[in-house]
Amino acid sequence: MDLLRPLSPGGLKYSQAWRSVGAPPWRAWLDTDFRELAPSFIAIWCLIAAVAMGTYGTALALAGTQINILPLLIYLKISDGSGDFPTAAALSLLLLGLCVLVLAAGELAARGRDRTLVTH
């Protein structure tokens, strides 16, 4: 998740080189800067999405139980009088699977970022 190098003035040398050989600015940006920044942005988005999936305290404090989000549904299944633990366990496994998928996508994006750094 390194954004400092591509966004620094020295990190623009590849797009400047593309422009010096006659590439249009949009093509130089797409082939150089975008390819360096995209994996980092994808990895950052995946990390934020994984954190957001597990936060139910803010939704519970602001809207009460009126919003149907997965962590809040799990909380409600356990906290109500019936204690529907099998359903809560199934929802917890679903939430775990979603988080694993999102974090795996972020890890793959970070690996793609490392590969692009080696090839340049």
Which residues make Cβ contacts (< 8 Å) with residue 112, sequence separation at least 6?
39
- Please report the pLDDT score of residue 120 as a whole number: 52
The secondary structure of the chain, three-state, reads: CCCHHHHCHHHHHHHHHHHHCCCCHHHHHHHHHHHHHHHHHHHHHHHHHHHHHHCCHHHHHHHCCCCCCHHHHHHHHHHCCCCCHHHHHHHHHHHHHHHHHHHHHHHHHHHHHHHHHHHC
- Please report the pLDDT score of residue 12 as a whole number: 65
Q: For residues 49 and 104, what is the distance between their CA atoms, to the nearest angstrom?
A: 12
- Please report the pLDDT score of residue 29 as a whole number: 80
- Please report the pLDDT score of residue 71 as a whole number: 79
The torsion region of residue 22 among left (phi > 0), alpha (psi -120 to 50) and beta comes to left
Q: Which of 16, 35, 39 is nearest to 109 (CA)?
A: 39
pTM > 0.95: yes or no: no
- Please report the pLDDT score of residue 47 as a whole number: 78
- Please report the pLDDT score of residue 114 as a whole number: 56
- What does R_g of the chain's alpha carbons equal in angstroms? 21
- Please report the pLDDT score of residue 36 as a whole number: 78
Q: Which portions of the chain are predicted below pLDDT 50? A: 1
